[in-house]
Amino acid sequence: MNRYTTLILTGLFALILFSVPEYAYAMHIMEGFLPAKWSIFWSVLTIPFLVRGLRTIKKKVEDNPSLKLLLGVAGAFAFILSALKMPSVTGSSSHPTGVGLGAILFGPTAMTVIGVIVLLFQAILLAHGGITTLGANTFSMAVAGPFVAYWIFKLGKKIGLPTWLSVFLAAFAGDLITYVVTSVQLAAAFPAAQGGVATSVVKFLSVFAVTQLPLAVSEGILTVIVFNFLKSYNQQELKELSVIGEEV
C-alpha cells in the first residue's frame, strides 16, 4: 500500500472531523423507532451475512495484508457519506451510503462487516441511528445496498461497459436500493390505516425520492472519482482483488 492511499485515508478521516458536526441532528432509523419484533427480525436476518463477511475479510487480509489500508479507505468513505444527511421523513433521513466502493473492492458481505462497524460508531458517537435499530439499518445499507452494487458492477463488466460507468451505476443503484429497503422496513412496521403496507411503501418512497435521486447521482460521481484515484495509485491491489484486469 503506497503513500497516496494513506493520504486519501487521512483526508477522509479529517473530513469527518470538520463535516460531521453540521449534520449531527440527522440519523438513520432512530433509536427505539421500530417495534421490538421488527428490530429482532432484521437483526437475525443480518447475522448470516455478517458471519460470511468476517470470513471473507479474514481470507483476503491473510492472503494480502497490504489490503488493510484499502479496507480502511472503504470504511472511511462509507462513514463520511452516510454521515452527511438531509432531513426526510419522520424517523429517518436521506443521505448517501458510500457502500458501493467497498462492495466493488471486497465483495458485498465484506461490506456488511464494514457497514455494521460504521453504523455502530455513528450510533454511539454521533447519535445517528441506534442500537435497537442497528440490525434494520445494517440490512438496508450494508446488506441490500452492497449486494445490488456488487452485481451491477459485475454485470457491467460482463456486458463490456466502461469501468467508470459500471462503477457509477453500481454506486447509484446501491444507494437507491438502500432506501427502497428502508421504505419497506418503515412500511412494514407502520402500515397505513387504509391500503396497508403497500400504501405506506409508496408514501415513503415518494418522499425519499425527492432528496435521494440527486444524492444517488452525486454518490455515483464521487465513487467514480475515488475509484479512478485508487486505480491510478493502487493498481496492483485492484488486480489482486480481480476488480480490474491485467490489461489495465
Cβ atoms of residues 174 and 137 within 8 Å = no
Residue 18: which pLDDT band, with cuts at 50, 70 and 90?
A: very low
The pLDDT > 70 percentage for the chain reads: 84
pLDDT score for 87: 60
| 195 assigned to some structural domain | yes
Report how far residue 113's alpha carbon sits from residue 67's, in angstroms, rounded to the nearest whole number: 15
| 36 assigned to some structural domain | yes
Rounded CA Rg of the chain: 17
pLDDT at residue 156 greater than cutoff 90: yes
Specify the CATH number for the domain of residue 101. Answer: 1.10.1760.20
Report DSSP letters for 148-192, one per residue. HHHHHHHHHHHTT--HHHHHHHHHHHHHHHHHHHHHHHHHHHS-B
pLDDT score for 14: 43
Residue 126: which pLDDT band, with cuts at 50, 70 and 90?
A: confident
CB atoms within 10 A of CB 100: 37
| 11 assigned to some structural domain | no
Report how far residue 1's alpha carbon sits from residue 6's, in angstroms, rounded to the nearest whole number: 8
Tell me the mean pLDDT in the region 22-29: 46
Residue 180: which pLDDT band, with cuts at 50, 70 and 90?
A: very high
Q: Report CA-CA distances (Å) from 222 to 57, 62, 186.
A: 25, 30, 28
pLDDT at residue 19 greater than cutoff 60: no
| 59 assigned to some structural domain | yes
Tally of structural domains, the chain = 1
- Find the range with the poorest average confidence among 5-19, 75-89, 146-160, 208-222: 5-19
**What is the maximum alpha-carbon separation in the chain?**
58
| 56 assigned to some structural domain | yes
| 16 assigned to some structural domain | no
Cell of 166: 459500471
Report how far residue 78's alpha carbon sits from residue 39's, in angstroms, rounded to the nearest whole number: 23
* Residue span of the structural domain in which 219 resides: 26-240
| 204 assigned to some structural domain | yes
Residue 143: which pLDDT band, with cuts at 50, 70 and 90?
A: very high
| 15 assigned to some structural domain | no
